[in-house]
Amino acid sequence: MNAIKKYLAEFIGTLVLVLFACGVAAVLGCNGQEPNAAYFMTALAFGLVIVAMAYSIGNVSGCHINPAVSIAMLVSGKMNVKDFIGYIVAQFAGAIAGAGILCYFAPDTGLGANALFEGDVVKSLIIEIILTFVFVIAILGVTSKIENSAVAGVVIGLTLTLVHIFGIHFTGTSVNPARSLGPAIFVGGDALANVWVFIVAPLVGGILAALVYKLITLKNAEEN
């Protein structure tokens, strides 16, 4: 029963992320080409959703709502394979549900779908790996000490806002395979054809963050 509660929390959290954060990008017409109000409001929306969900479902599931975060936790030994699979299924299902609701209300928008930077797969992979690495290593750091629990949600939300402020111009910022797949399914076309980039790159970024964080904390432990 506890496992089901965690998976349900992840479903709800990812649904809210896509519906509200991608929804802001969709209804405000954020295209990443100019630093206007829509650009910054979209970045802020992603961060605020994380803050809201962290303090509402964080005590149930840890509020991953992102396969890249879950795979980092798996590599770090902070979750088992069974829960990892359950989280991933719940996250993708939540993202698709959120995108479906958003499509119903805003059918003539891009639903906040991601796109390749200058049509270049390699550049897009690299930027998404970097963005995800920064986001996930911040999560691993702030959640590593129990005394940080009171501020962890704010730190994670602000970090997601930061990577969006930088990354929206390039790819729209994914750092989250579920967040990318949901809108892509309903938008179709290039968004769906290229969505693999926004699934693979965040997962690679999450794994790298977990490995690097484990390395640097191991060195610190040896020095102490």
Rounded-to-integer distance, Cα 24 and Cα 102, Å:
10
Instruction: Let me know the angle formed at the C-alpha of 137 by 4 and 163, rounded to the nearest 5 degrees.
Output: 95
**Domain of 123?**
2-223
Rounded to two decimals, the pTM is 0.95
Per-residue DSSP letters for 130-153?
A: HHHHHHHHHHHHHTSSGGGHHHHH
pLDDT 10s digits, 154-207: 999 999 999 999 999 999 999 999 999 999 999 999 999 999 999 999 999 999
Amino acid identity of residue 107, one-letter, is: P
Confidence of residue 77 (pLDDT cuts 50, 70, 90): very high
CATH of the domain at 169: 1.20.1080.10
Q: The tokens of 66 are what? A: 């992102």
Give the pLDDT score at 219.
64
Rounded-to-integer distance, Cα 39 and Cα 41, Å:
6
Q: Please state the rounded mean pLDDT for residues 75-100.
A: 97
The sign one gets for the Cα dihedral 204, 22, 181, 193 is negative
Give the pLDDT score at 34.
81
**Looking at the predicted structure, is the pLDDT value of residue 55 above 60?**
yes
Domains contained in the chain, number: 1
